[in-house]
Amino acid sequence: MRYKTITFTPSINADAHSTGDVVAALEEIQDWALMPGGSSLVKSVVVNDATDSGVALDLVFYTADGVIGAESAAYTTTDAVAAYHAGTVNVAAASFDDAVNNKSATQAEDIVIGCAGDSTSIWMGVVARGSIDPGAVTDLVVKIGLDRG
């Protein structure tokens, strides 16, 4: 299947987060590419935010698991982990629409993110670019539209 929408609910820390904090540590997204070492073109990103904050977020992608900082602490990596950085999608605060009890952002993208040579998976984390205070560990849902052709 050339086109695929991945719906991903990162396990987030329900504590308050400040600008630059890790909201969700890296988690694996399977079947990102059609074959090991393949790539996908990110065409769209939708973020459903049940926290109703609508704060800017960075979705950071890596080709391997690693530590990007503790949740509710600053986003930081070692040089070894940074070598696996595959790309970042910036979700702007201005992209969020207000639906009274929650907010949703939709953005068109055009970024190629590839997997490691022996994998069809990618790892994604979330970094706050403003203050966010989730009420539950499932308050963010990310939908990524991929062109895997």
pLDDT 10s digits, 89-148:
999 999 999 988 899 999 999 999 999 999 999 999 999 999 998 888 899 999 999 999
* CA 3 centroid distance within chain: 19
Residue 14 has pLDDT above 90, yes or no: no
With beta carbons less than 8 A apart as the criterion, state whether 125 and 26 touch: yes
Q: What is the pTM of this model?
A: 0.94
Of the pLDDT bands very low, low, confident and very high (cuts 50, 70, 90), residue 82 is very high
In angstroms, the Cα distances linking 146 to 12, 23, 44 are 23, 23, 7
CA-CA-CA-CA dihedral for 69, 11, 138, 20, to nearest 10: 10
- Please check the confidence at residue 1 and state whether its pLDDT lies above 80: no
- What CA–CA distance (Å, rounded) separates 109 from 9? 20
Runs of H (alpha helix) within the chain: 79-82
The rounded mean pLDDT for the chain is 94
Band (pLDDT 50/70/90 cuts) for residue 84 is very high
User: Is residue 105 a contact partner of residue 51, using CB atoms and an 8 Å limit?
Assistant: no
pLDDT of residue 39: 97
Phi, psi of 97 (to 5 degrees): -100, 140
Terminal Cα distance for the chain, rounded: 8
Q: Provide the percentage of residues in the chain whose pLDDT is more than 90.
A: 85
For residue 13, what pLDDT is reported? Answer: 81
Domains and CATH numbers, the chain: 3-147 (2.60.120)
Largest Cα separation within the chain, whole Å, is: 44
